[in-house]
Each structure stands twice: as structure tokens, then as C-alpha cells.
């Protein structure tokens, strides 16, 4: 379980997160929804160690990771899939995937995860030798998710994985999210597509101006009148 308590963080003198307190349970999908600029990416960056909170605690399976380096956090089984599709454009699909496993030594486990990534994204098999920069947007997103899975993370932090994708690819991303969870992993998902995120997530938290203002199950928040008005366009 990942548990944030009283997190404050920001950029320079500007505090963006004022009091972030929530948890994401092991083996479940938890989603953070909120308007542009509310602090969702900033929250994920704090968990991944890219940004250090000024106050508060981030407990991962009982250990406070809030002062650890990003590399130490990756070693503890946390992978961030950042916003935007950051493939290494001049490397092939296969090389991009292999990079995800570069810290691992368990050859059998790497092979198993490589096969798993291809079962999740069969299309990537036909693209192994292609430079990642020439893949379609949807294919690049598959590579980015696949690369993160090659690190064999316990917790995946996903920042807007469906952004800018055609509707059919958005469905594909959510299908894969459910399959990842079926493998016992934990997902913290930030999404603009609040309806889909709330339908998919077990728990959900609404972030407004750096505060968590509402928490509940995804299903309950879908029916919440304030959420309907502010995030579901109803």
C-alpha cells in the first residue's frame, strides 16, 4: 500500500500541494481526478521522487520513501509512466522495451515479462525492429507501458495514459490497465477522462488546488452530484 499523509510540495517558492492525504491499496486501481493544474502530476512526481515534498510522509509498504532518490524508488518497485509518450525515438521497439529491464538480473523473469508485454500488446511483435519514433501515437503508448512493465514494478503510476489517443486506443489502454491489475500489481491512475477512470477504479480521490477534497469508491463518486457537475459534464 502507498500512503501519503500531509504532503506539501511545490516549485521554488510556489506551493502547489497544500495537504495531500490519501492511500492506494495493494492490488487495486486508485484514481486521482481533478481539473488542469490541480496538482495531479505533482503528486505522482512526489511519489516517484522527482520532486521532494517539503512536509509530510509517503509510506510504501511501511517505509517512508519521501526523501529517497528516484532510482532508489524504482528499485523498491515503483514505476512512473509520465504524461506524453516518451519513447526513445532513435531506438527500436525491442530496445525500448529492453531498457525497462536494465537494472534486472533475473533472466527468466525478464523473459516472462517480455512475453507478457507481447500478450498484452500483440501488435508490438510486428514492430520490434522499427524505430520507436516512427510508431503511431497509440503504438508509442504501448511501448511506454510495456517498458514500465519490463521493470516488474509492484506499483505503476500512470499519468494521463489515454491523453490524445483515438477512442479505440483509449479502450485498449483501459483493457490493459485491467489486465495489469489481474497480475496482482497496484495502479495509481491520473486521468482527464474522469468517467472512464471512475468506472475502472476501485477507489478515487478528487484533488482541487492542491487539496484532496473528496474520496470514495469509483462507483460512488460517479454518482456524486458535485463530481457529475464538475468532472463528468452532466
Q: Is 162 in the site for ligand ATP (CB under 6 A)?
A: no
Question: How does DSSP assign the chain, residue by residue?
Answer: -EEEEEEEEEETTEEEEEEEEEEE-TTSEEEEE--TTSSHHHHHHHHHTSS--SEEEEEETTEE-TTS-HHHHHHTTEEEE-SS----TTSBHHHHHHHHTTT---HHHHHHHHHHHHHH-GGGGGGTTSBGGGS-HHHHHHHHHHHHHTT--SEEEEESTTTT--HHHHHHHHHHHHHHHHTT-EEEEE-S-HHHHHHH-SEEEEEETTEEEEEEEHHHHHT-HHHHHHHS--
Q: Is 16 in the site for ligand ATP (CB under 6 A)?
A: yes
Q: Shortest distance, CB of residue 62 to ligand ATP, whole angstroms?
A: 27
Size of the site for ligand ATP (CB under 6 A): 10
Q: Is 34 in the site for ligand ATP (CB under 6 A)?
A: yes
Q: Among the candidate windows 33-41, 69-77, 114-122, 126-134, which touches ligand ATP by CB under 6 A? A: 33-41
Q: Shortest distance, CB of residue 214 to ligand ATP, whole angstroms?
A: 15
Q: Among the candidate windows 29-37, 72-80, 95-103, 128-136, which touches ligand ATP by CB under 6 A? A: 29-37
Q: Which is nearer to ligand ATP, 99 or 195 (CB)?
A: 195
Binding pattern to ligand ATP, positions 42-81, x when CB under 6 A? x---------------------------------------
Q: Which is nearer to ligand ATP, 44 or 135 (CB)?
A: 44
- Interface ranges with ligand ATP (CB under 6 A): 11, 16, 34, 36-42
Amino acid at each position: 500500500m502507498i500512503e501519503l499523509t500531509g504532503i506539501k510540495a511545490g516549485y521554488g517558492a510556489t506551493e502547489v500541494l497544500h495537504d495531500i492525504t490519501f492511500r492506494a491499496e495493494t492490488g487495486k486501481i486508485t484514481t486521482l481526478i481533478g481539473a488542469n493544474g490541480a496538482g495531479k502530476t505533482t503528486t505522482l512526481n512526489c511519489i516517484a521522487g522527482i520532486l521532494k515534498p517539503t512536509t509530510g510522509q509517503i509510506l510504501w509498504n511501511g517505509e517512508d520513501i519521501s526523501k529517497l532518490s528516484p532510482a532508489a524508488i524504482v528499485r523498491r518497485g515503483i514505476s512512473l509512466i509520465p504524461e506524453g509518450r516518451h519513447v526513445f525515438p532513435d531506438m527500436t521497439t525491442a530496445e525500448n522495451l529492453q531498457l525497462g529491464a536494465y537494472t534486472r538480473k533475473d533472466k527468466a523473469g525478464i523473459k516472462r515479462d517480455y512475453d507478457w508485454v507481447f500478450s498484452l500488446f500483440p501488435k508490438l511483435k510486428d514492430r520490434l525492429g522499427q524505430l520507436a519514433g516512427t510508431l503511431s501515437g497509440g503504438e508509442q503508448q504501448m511501448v511506454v507501458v510495456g517498458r514500465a512493465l519490463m521493470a516488474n514494478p509492484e506499483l505503476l503510476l500512470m499519468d494521463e495514459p489515454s491523453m490524445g489517443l483515438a477512442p479505440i486506443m483509449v479502450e485498449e489502454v483501459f483493457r490493459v490497465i485491467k489486465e495489469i491489475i489481474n497480475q496482482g500489481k497496484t495502479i495509481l491512475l491520473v486521468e482527464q477522462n474522469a468517467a472512464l477512470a471512475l468506472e475502472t477504479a476501485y477507489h478515487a480521490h478528487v484533488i482541487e488546488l492542491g487539496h484532496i477534497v473528496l474520496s470514495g469508491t469509483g462507483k460512488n463518486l460517479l454518482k456524486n452530484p458535485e463530481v457529475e457537475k464538475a468532472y463528468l459534464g452532466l
